[in-house]
Amino acid sequence: MKKKASLLIITLTGVAILTGVCSGIETYSPLKLIRIFSKPYDYQFESTILFQIRIPRVWCAFLVGSGLSLSGLILQAILKNPLAESYILGISGGASIGIAAGIILGQMASIPVFAFAGSILSILVLLLAASIRKLSAGTLILIGIMLNFIFSSFSLLVITLLQKERFMEAVIWFMGNLSSYQSDVLKIAPLFLLPAYAVTWLFWKQLNIFSMGEEKSVALGLDPEKKKYIWFVITGLITGYCVSLAGLVGFVGLVIPHAVRILVGADHKKTIPSTILVGGSFLILADTLARTIVQPIEIPVGVISGFFGGIIFVFLLLKTARKQKW
């Protein structure tokens, strides 16, 4: 059973990467792919598309999908709530303020930086609220949701006042898309995200214990007070980076950890690597669909991931509702 699940996940990842690399306006068969790879000089045009466009884009989709899913998984453990996700906790609102600020200031090239700063800002506001008073996980989630509303309404107000072209630009960021990532941001991404993934996996035991609730955590020898903040910062950094690559791709962080738990169980030793792979693969597939479904137009990936993610989620819930608690 367990071997089956890991085999399934690895196969899924392979299939997703292959599909993502092969399909596009020019679709290549896997056989042709091998030919291009082995003799890149005979296929100048194709290899340019592959190495300059497709592969970076698939890699970007993988990083964003895995990052958002992993931060969802972490927050669900820390807050002991399967509905927690970095976007629900106000991070998307914070990022949208950053994006709006970048657009107003006309700094289109530095929007990633603004988005990142906005995400970090909202995490800091949340932490500040949490440090003033000792708050329960439930209250923290509610505050996050409210922060999200406040930030989002503000940034929506701002962008409605913008000129038309800029308005569209803002909307595309808010919907989440992988077509306008900046290659410099993508180049640094692995240096930033992969260590964060590694640290998370290294400390999988803490997430198991956190997910038992605060009282039980103390009783099992893990004082959650300070460590909770460290985990918040890690998720804030991961999410902020993903937002700066792709804007607000919602929903992945909620759906993927849940699907993974159905596949491999709840133990974070297994869910952490599985979430990274499944989350990455899901967004590769969603993005492939987004850029091929109505050629030559590209649909923002956030629309696809929200639509299919939602359907898959409801389906999973109905199928497992009897066995699981919620």
Partner 1 sequence: MVILEFKNVSAAYGKEEILHNISFQMKKGNFVGVIGPNGSGKSTLLKTAVKILRHSKGQVLFKNTDTGKISARDFAKSVSFLPSDIEIAYPYTVKELLLMARYPFSSDFRNPSKRDIEIIVSISKQMELTPFFDRTIFQMSEGEKQRVLLAQCLVQEPELIVLDEPTSHLDIGFQFAFLDLLKTLQKTSDLSILAALHDLNLASQYCENILLLKNGSVIKFGEVQDVIKFEIIEDVYHTNVLVYPHPVSGKPYVFGIPESWKNLTEK
Spatial contact of 287 and 293, defined as CB atoms under 8 Å apart: no
Q: Please select the residue that binds partner 1; options are 53, 223, 230, 293, rule is CB under 8 A.
A: 223
Assess 131 for contact with partner 1 (CB under 8 A). no
CA distance 151 to 167: 17
Given the complex with partner 1, which of 77 and 283 has the nearer CB atom?
77
Q: Please select the residue that binds partner 1; options are 108, 161, 218, 230, rule is CB under 8 A.
A: 218
Assess 165 for contact with partner 1 (CB under 8 A). no
Question: Hey, what are 81's tokens?
Answer: 């709530």
Q: How far is CA 145 from CA 25, 74, 141, 150, 183, in A?
A: 40, 17, 6, 9, 32
**DSSP code of 14?**
H
Assess 80 for contact with partner 1 (CB under 8 A). yes
Instruction: Find the binding residues for partner 1 in span 175-214 (CB under 8 A).
Output: 202-203, 205-206, 208-209, 211-214
Spatial contact of 63 and 277, defined as CB atoms under 8 Å apart: no
Q: Please select the residue that binds partner 1; options are 25, 105, 266, 317, rule is CB under 8 A.
A: 266
Given the complex with partner 1, which of 56 and 213 has the nearer CB atom?
213
> Smallest distance, Å, CB 324 to partner 1?
6
CB-neighbour burial class of residue 60 (10 A; exposed 0-12, middle 13-18, buried 19+): buried
Q: Which helix (H) or strand (E) holds 181?
A: none
Under the rule (CB under 8 A), what is the footprint of partner 1?
76-77, 80-82, 202-203, 205-206, 208-209, 211-216, 218-223, 261, 265-267, 323-325
